[in-house]
Amino acid sequence: MKDDIIYLVLLGSCIGFGQFYRKFTDPEQRKLVGTGVGLLVVLSVSGFHMLHMLFCYLVSALLIIYTSRKVCHLACFGFMFGYLFFFRSLSFLGYDAPPGHTNMIQMILTLKLVGLAFEVNNAYTKSKTVADDQKDAAAVAQPSLTEADRTLLKLSMLDIFHYSFNYVGVLTGPYITFKTYRDAMYLPFSGKADCIGATVDKLKVIPLYAGLFLLVSYIWPLQYATSAEFYEERSFLYRLMYVWPTFFIFRMRIYTGILLSECVCTMAGVGAYPKLAGSKPGHGPSRDDYTTAATDDSSPLEYDFETVRNIDVINTERCWTFREAMKYWNMCVQYWMAMYVYKRFPSKKYRTLVTLAVSAIWHGVYAGYYFCICGAPFYLPIEDLYVKLFLKDATGQKRTVLNVLCWISKFFAFSYLGIAFLLLTVDKIWYYYSSVYHFGYVLWIVLYGVGVLIAKQRKANARREAKVGQDGTKQD
């Protein structure tokens, strides 16, 4: 709870500072002030462990600027994820483990610096394409370089330093691209968007999530799932059902933290864009013509903060399937994983597994992260199979009943896999799963086998009916 209190105090301070931060209209002043506050946040929770972040910044900035832009993204990816693994292994090597909040800062810094290297590589690739098109008159015209692209191609060490340590998102995210950061510095949207209103809308629901977190964690604490009484005196059904409240606690904690992190962005005006820009979480504007319209004061525009929207709580809770719920969870990080791992990995066959493995590595070195995150690809085919067999063509009351069953299955899967994420170590995870006879995994294997048999039977029936129809046609 001490870590949580420190976390809340820091996020609350950063949210309040945003009202003052928006008053700086000069971009250079805004950069200096934002970076100064960010360094204070890092120092306050990390102490001398802050040297890890400074070292990572220095090496990554040198790689981005001085390594060939054809491979700078790969070099930066290898270094940052390698250092992240080393950083988390310090306690195993006999050194003091960094504080928990320092780990979160290192996680976000990894996404930022590696993402920046990919942005530079993309801008370089685009510049080569444009240059080749200019030489070849017959080539199909490609989009010209934007101002953001040109900025990426002439980055300085100071630019990368400001981006890495600006206080907005430095502690827990959400992940923002360098382009989003630069727009927040140079474009006037933060002065036009309703930053206070957007922040208050998010803050309204946080007491509910925080209250539920405290209440349920008091009644069903996670620590109880590691006690002797839990395994010796509680029934199989009680132990199995205990995953529901523990994952509910986890969700409420995550909802509270992520929404507070979003409030830091909204209060500072970071991620504010006109609605006509079609912004998407993590990515930012999907259209390029929004800047011209935004400078026209004759017609006031509506603004949103979709760029820094990291979670959609309502849709996460009410959507029917596991696959759909994944899309609404930690959306900015998912964007990073999709853009820089999934789409870039050369093998289509293994890109999903590799993306989830990178996500698990990013989360930490504990086995629980791999049990949980890498377990998702094995559940998804089962869900997809039953959606195709029963849910896809269902209507009316039957559809409603099947949707509810699918919803229950979704949250059981999340909860059953999520207990590994919370227990962390192999011995605790295996002890718990053994105490419930690996019920979840056994159930899913049986369901998959039954689903495959039903699918085969339906195909055989369809072929038989088609053959009967053909024979009837011939006889006629």
- Choose, from 103, 121, 310, 330, the residue flagged as catalytic: 330
Bridge partners, 274 (sequence order): 303
The token pair that represents 210 in the structure block = 């925080």
* Residue in 340, 334, 277, 287 with CA at minimum distance from that of residue 310: 334
d(CA 344, CA 138): 29
Q: Where are the alpha helices (DSSP H) in 269-390?
A: 290-294, 313-318, 322-327, 331-337, 351-363, 367-373, 376-386
Would you tell me how many other CB atoms lie within 10 Å of the CB of residue 388?
12
- Choose, from 122, 363, 403, 438, the residue flagged as catalytic: 363
Q: Which residue has the tokens 């979480």?
A: 281
The token pair that represents 259 in the structure block = 């929404």
The token pair that represents 408 in the structure block = 């229950």
The token pair that represents 12 in the structure block = 């609350």
101 catalytic residue (yes or no) = no
d(CA 429, CA 423): 6
E strand segments, 105-243 = none
Question: With 0-12 CB in 10 A as exposed, 13-18 as middle and 19+ as buried, what is 391?
Answer: middle
CB 373 within 8 A of CB 356: yes
363 catalytic residue (yes or no) = yes
Instruction: Tell me the three state secondary structure of residue 22.
Output: coil
**Residue numbers annotated as active site:** 330, 363
